[in-house]
Structure 1
Amino acid sequence: MFAGVTGTVQVLIPLTGVVDVEALKAKLEKDLAKAEGEIKSLSGRLSNQGFVNQAPAEVVQGAQTALAEAEKQAKLVSERLAML
């Protein structure tokens, strides 16, 4: 069963027989691992003062933006996994 909320409406969709839940779960776990790897890599880069001090500001800003996006993606995938 998939549950979602849009505005003030709650939507419930039975997935049994429609979606291979195990395959979906495996894909989401893979996506989560990828996002967590990106978070680890970008966090390491941004915690390196040599990188932060020597890299052009736009490169540092790009890494910060990518980190925020990876964190957002990891949260979203985790929420989807919890719904399964």
Structure 2
Amino acid sequence: MNQLVSIIRSVRNIRAEVDTPMSKEIPILIQTSDDHVKQQLEENRIYLDRFCNPSELTIDTTIDIPEKAMSAVVTGAEIYLPLEGLIDIDKELARLQEEIDKLNKEVERVDKKLANEGFVSKAPSQVVEAEKEKQKDYINKREKVQARMDELKK
């Protein structure tokens, strides 16, 4: 029963991470470690259907793992949710590009501020440090968004 709860929790967490509502049916693939786990999950399939809302639910010991998929590992099983069922990849790439553009503007704005000798020499040191922290934060966010974009383009 704990395994079933872990699987349901993992599926819901992945859905929340990629902003896919529970009302939307998505394909779910569960690769079990052995036939015993497979049998237990098959016997409790009704709960997986009810609480995970799959369009198709595949439970097996060997599964063709989709190239682009979110995954989770629980005791005795690995869960895969193909990204194509979760998000519109083109729409997500466009959204991520907008976010990168916004972060680029913020980095440029902070860079100009920190390159201005008048600002750096006249502003209190805590204000200058706050701008440097903003700069690091924007650059870090931009790198993460770019990494996500690169992952989706594979």
Normalised TM-score (structure 2): 0.47
- Are 2:133 and 1:65 aligned? yes
**Taking CA–CA contacts closer than 8 Å with sequence separation of 6 or more, which of the two structures ends up with the larger relative contact order?**
1
Cα distance between partner residues in 2 of 1:38 and 1:15 = 30
Decide which structure has greater helix share: 1
Picking from 102, 107, 116, the partner of 1:39 is 107
Query: Relative to structure 1, is the Cα distance of residues 29 and 2 closer, same or farther in structure 2, using a 3 angstrom cutoff?
Result: farther
Unaligned runs of 5+ in 1: 5-10
Provide, for residues 3-26 of structure 1, a one-character-per-residue CA deviation record: whole Å limited to 9, x for no partner.
68xxxxxx9642113211111111
% same residue: 26
Cα RMSD, aligned residues only: 1.7
Cα deviation digits, residues 49-78 of structure 1 (max 9, x gap): 100000111110110000000000110011
Contact between 1:3 and 1:83, CA under 8 Å: does it hold in 2?
A: no
Aligned to 2:82: 14
Do residues 53 (structure 1) and 115 (structure 2) align?
A: no
Counterparts in 2 of 1:2 and 1:48: CA distance versus 1, 3 Å: farther
Q: Is the 8 A contact 2:69 2:80 kept in 1?
A: yes
Q: Which amino acid aligns with 1:74?
A: R
**1:2 Cα deviation from its structure 2 partner:** 4.2
Q: Structure 2 vs 1, CA of residues 29 and 3 (structure 1 numbering), >3 Å: closer, same or farther? A: same
Secondary structure of 2:130 counterpart: helix
